[in-house]
A = this chain, B = another copy of it.
């Protein structure tokens, strides 16, 4: 491995001078700078970040902790985050939590050990509080994306869940639905809680009735959807829903599949809409009506806030950025479309 000592020897200067050249210190004569740079080129020297971090206390590495990189929603967040991080010279360390708090916890420990400069996280839910406290205790800045955790303050960028839910419900009501079910994420996740609250609020505002059975609490990335949907479709007491609102793309798509297995037609027999587009590439034949959240912006803005925080350029007060989503009406909620 080529070190500053090798360069120094060959250039007949001290290692310190080499270090200064590398770091573009102002106080270097043009002559020595050129000489040193030539030798750096010649020996193909690359600075060792590990060593540098040991004294500088910064690694220029930030981490993105998300539930699942294979979900297009988080993938798009990752893309936005990566673009911004790259722009500021930070590298991105990726972590998948699979919506499991313990996996998340282990990741946080690894990140702490790796001395990352900051963390952009979509926390699994309330249990995240414990490991987020670890970050806070060690003064590692972090920013919430998509979800937040009660009891711990941090900058936050998320979708406007209330507004988005209202839009989706309004659309369904407009289509004539009076009995709408919600298949939600786990109540420990802030976005699920907010969507549930906004959902019932919206129903009431539209003068609609709802029963507890109309709202199902499940998971964002795995569950037995056939059973869930079947139970929903066999509701007799409070009446069978004519529309289902799914709290994310994964639930949405799996609801469609379950309905198909039951030989129910969408939208003829039942309408379906969801949060987040399941299509990463704008598609030719999209089907599902969705409220598309600006995932790229979430990643981009979240990373921007994080970097500002890391570099001490952020205001003392924590910021909260609410991003609007776009209602994309497609076939799954419209019967009268050619």
Contacts and interface: CB of A to CB of B under 8 A. Distances in A.
Given A48-B113, A93-B92, A115-B50, A281 B71 contact: yes
Nearest to A330: B285
A110 B91 contact: yes
Which of A50, A51, A110 has its CB near the most chain B CB atoms (within 10 A)?
A: A50
Contacts of A316: none
A49 B115 contact: yes
Contacts of A51: 54
A19 to B, nearest CB: 15
Contacts of A76: 70
A114 interface: yes
A109 B48 CA distance: 11
A336 interface: no
A157 B51 CA distance: 34
Contacts of A250: 281
A78 B94 contact: yes
* Residue from A54, A253, A280 whose CB has the most chain B CB atoms within 10 Å: A280
A260 B83 CA distance: 31
Interface size class of A (residues with CB under 8 A): 35 or more
A218 interface: no
A114 to B, nearest CB: 5
Nearest to A250: B281
A79 B86 contact: no
A137 B44 contact: yes
Contact of A256 (B61, B82, B96, B284): B284
Contact of A48 (B1, B115, B249): B115
A257 B282 contact: yes
Contacts of A83: 96
A326 interface: no
Interface in A19-44: 44
29 contacts: A1-B138, A44-B134, A44-B137, A46-B109, A46-B112, A47-B113, A48-B115, A50-B50, A50-B53, A50-B114, A50-B115, A69-B69, A69-B78, A70-B76, A70-B78, A70-B79, A70-B280, A71-B280, A72-B281, A83-B96, A92-B94, A93-B93, A250-B281, A253-B283, A253-B284, A254-B281, A256-B285, A257-B284, A284-B287
Given A44-B134, A72-B72, 11 more contacts: A54-B54, A68-B79, A69-B82, A70-B75, A75-B280, A91-B114, A257-B282, A257-B284, A260-B284, A284-B287, A285-B287
Interface of A: 1, 44, 46-51, 53-54, 59, 61, 64, 68-72, 75-76, 78-79, 82-83, 86, 91-96, 109-110, 112-115, 134, 137-138, 249-250, 253-254, 256-257, 260, 266, 278-285, 287-288
